[in-house]
């Protein structure tokens, strides 16, 4: 049985084969690890095969083009995108967020953005605010969740260009009511822009029923792909200005116009074939075993969550146990700073977690943990119940030592 085989129950789960025996990796929300063997093999095979897709008519170039096309088709089908030409390979989620926000918004436009966004979204928006884009922050509740009625009351009669909201929080793990928010956006003639970084791979995603006009994610988190690749979806009627041009397209020296054809218009330069192949292999793993992997992740998250709630002075961020979330469980404690807990877990138990503000300081401000930060566990199907139990024991020990 491999690490990512489905349907394991607690206590009946082999250690991931590629994990060093002593490491307990619980930082999958930053980047998933270990990658499935299928992903490693696909990256390796693509590197060995070579070929520059869309450039040249020899067999290697054609095979590379075929690989990119087949990967796009697979990933589009996984994400419920009926025409793969509306799905673009990007250098990452942050790059895609920058492309959409800078390419879609102009001075005088009005944007509503949730209070819990990642810096990938808030920083491009704050740059745009300096150039005359009007930004309103949508408040959230204690779980970090947006409420559609509150947003509706806030919008009132204001003309709205776009609403920007994540699908799942990288701080509290909460799932946002994105499709209801999209309905509201469309009632107001606005576009719905969605950061799917922490949702893709953890929950089933159908981009066409979700109602997103633009959606982006990383390839290296729960989609199990390598770092250096992300995805962007744009609805067929939503054209935004490209950030990068050139390096692609046919034509002679007299044809210096911009490439307008999808998908190449948003994919300037030589495609990262090995990364695309790896991402496609990660998605294939999810297509084959995703249901059971998600069930295992939910079981782990619940075990960790309820265990943390049993430790005195620990406050778990986000919704209570039983409410669906992505397998991110973060906590804070008045007794000891998050970075201290993370350092102890790392040095004494070899447990990898992430402390601090998680590149989302506004999200921490929104849920009241901006001063002390939080310790975040990012779980994945490759983790075991035993690892969760060791982590709980470690947290309980660090907290007990802080009290004494
Ligand atoms: N949005 C969210 C919600 C995230 O958690 C992250 C990654 N931490 C990003 C965007 C940015 O992803 P990347 O670093 O892969 O560009």
* pLDDT confidence of residue 20: 61
Is the distance from CB of 173 to CB of 330 less than 8 angstroms?
Answer: yes
- The per-residue pLDDT for range 151-182, each reduced to its tens digit, is 999 998 789 999 999 999 999 999 999 999 99
Q: Whose CA is nearest to atom 13 of ligand 1?
A: 93
Give the residue-averaged pLDDT of 278-290.
Answer: 98
Ligand 1 atom nearest to CA at 97: 10
Ligand 1 atom nearest to CA at 195: 1
- The per-residue pLDDT for range 217-239, each reduced to its tens digit, is 999 999 999 999 999 999 999 99
d(C-alpha 201, C-alpha 206), whole Å: 11
Give the residue-averaged pLDDT of 306-328.
Answer: 97
Among 99, 100, 216, 218, which is best to mutate for testing ligand 1, by the most ligand atoms less than 8 A from CB?
Answer: 218
Give the residue-averaged pLDDT of 340-347.
Answer: 96
Find the catalytic residue in 217, 265, 359, 385: 359
Q: Which of 323, 313, 315, 316 is nearest to 404 (CA)?
A: 313
d(C-alpha 213, C-alpha 181), whole Å: 12
Q: Whose CA is nearest to atom 5 of ligand 1?
A: 170
User: What is the residue-averaged pLDDT of the chain?
Assistant: 92
Q: Which residues make beta-bridge pairs with 352?
A: 25
Q: Which of 360, 19, 12 is nearest to 195 (CA)?
A: 360
Active site residue 359: yes
- HSE of 301 in the Cβ direction (CA atoms, 13 Å)? 32
Q: Which residues make beta-bridge pairs with 140?
A: 146
Q: Whose CA is nearest to atom 8 of ligand 1?
A: 30
**What is this structure's pTM?**
0.94
* pLDDT confidence of residue 253: 59
d(C-alpha 383, C-alpha 379), whole Å: 7
Residue 66's contacts (CB-CB under 8 Å, 6 or more residues apart) are none
Q: Which of 302, 69, 341, 76 is nearest to 205 (CA)?
A: 76
Helix (H) or strand (E) holding 218: strand 214-218
* pLDDT confidence of residue 249: 61
Distances (CA, A) of 144 to 102, 122, 181, 246: 26, 16, 15, 41
* pLDDT confidence of residue 6: 38
Is the distance from CB of 144 to CB of 169 less than 8 angstroms?
Answer: yes
For tokens 């877990």, the residue is: 345
CA of 278 to the centre of ligand 1 (A): 19
Is the distance from CB of 229 to CB of 248 less than 8 angstroms?
Answer: no
Q: pLDDT above 70 covers what percent of the chain?
A: 92
Among 359, 360, 363, 376, which is best to mutate for testing ligand 1, by the most ligand atoms less than 8 A from CB?
Answer: 359
Q: Name residues contacting ligand 1 (CB within 6 A).
A: 92-94, 118, 120, 166, 170, 195, 197-198, 218, 230, 359
Residue 383's pLDDT band, with cuts at 50, 70 and 90, is very high
């Amino acid at each position: 049985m491999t690490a990512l085989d489905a349907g394991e129950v607690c206590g009946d789960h082999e250690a991931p084969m590629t994990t060093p025996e002593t490491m307990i990796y619980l930082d999958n929300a930053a980047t998933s690890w270990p990658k499935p063997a299928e992903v490693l093999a696909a990256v390796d095979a693509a590197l060995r095969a070579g070929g520059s897709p869309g450039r040249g008519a020899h067999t290697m170039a054609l095979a590379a083009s075929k690989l990119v096309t087949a990967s796009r088709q697979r990933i589009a089908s996984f994400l419920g995108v009926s025409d793969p030409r509306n799905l673009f390979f990007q250098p990452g989620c942050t790059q895609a967020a920058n492309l959409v926000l800078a390419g879609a918004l102009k001075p005088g436009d009005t944007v509503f953005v949730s209070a819990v966004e990642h810096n990938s979204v808030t920083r491009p928006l704050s740059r745009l605010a300096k150039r005359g884009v009007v930004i309103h922050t949508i408040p959230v509740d204690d779980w970090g969740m947006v409420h559609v009625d509150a947003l509706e009351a806030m919008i009132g009669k204001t003309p709205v260009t776009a609403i920007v909201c994540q699908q799942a929080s990288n701080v509290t793990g909460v799932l946002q009511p994105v499709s209801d928010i999209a309905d509201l956006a469309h009632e107001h003639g606005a576009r719905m822009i969605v950061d799917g970084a922490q949702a893709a791979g953890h929950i089933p995603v159908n981009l066409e029923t979700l109602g997103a006009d633009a959606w982006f994610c990383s390839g290296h988190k729960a989609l199990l792909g390598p770092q250096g690749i992300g995805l962007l979806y744009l609805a067929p009627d939503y054209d935004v200005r490209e950030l990068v041009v050139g390096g692609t397209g046919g034509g002679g020296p007299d044809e210096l116009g911009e490439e307008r054809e999808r998908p190449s218009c948003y994919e300037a330069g030589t495609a990262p074939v090995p990364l695309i192949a790896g991402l496609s292999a990660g998605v294939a793993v999810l297509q084959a075993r995703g249901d059971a992997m998600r069930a295992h992740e939910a079981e782990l998250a619940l075990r960790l969550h309820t265990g943390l709630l049993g430790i005195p002075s620990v406050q778990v961020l986000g919704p209570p146990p039983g409410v669906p979330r992505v397998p991110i469980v973060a906590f804070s404690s008045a007794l000891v700073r998050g970075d201290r807990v993370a350092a102890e877990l790392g040095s004494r138990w070899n447990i990898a977690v992430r402390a601090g503000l998680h590149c989302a300081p506004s999200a921490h401000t929104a849920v009241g943990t901006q001063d002390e930060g939080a310790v975040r566990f990012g779980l994945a199907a490759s983790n075991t119940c035993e690892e969760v139990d060791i982590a709980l024991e470690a947290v309980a020990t660090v907290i007990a030592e802080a009290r004494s």
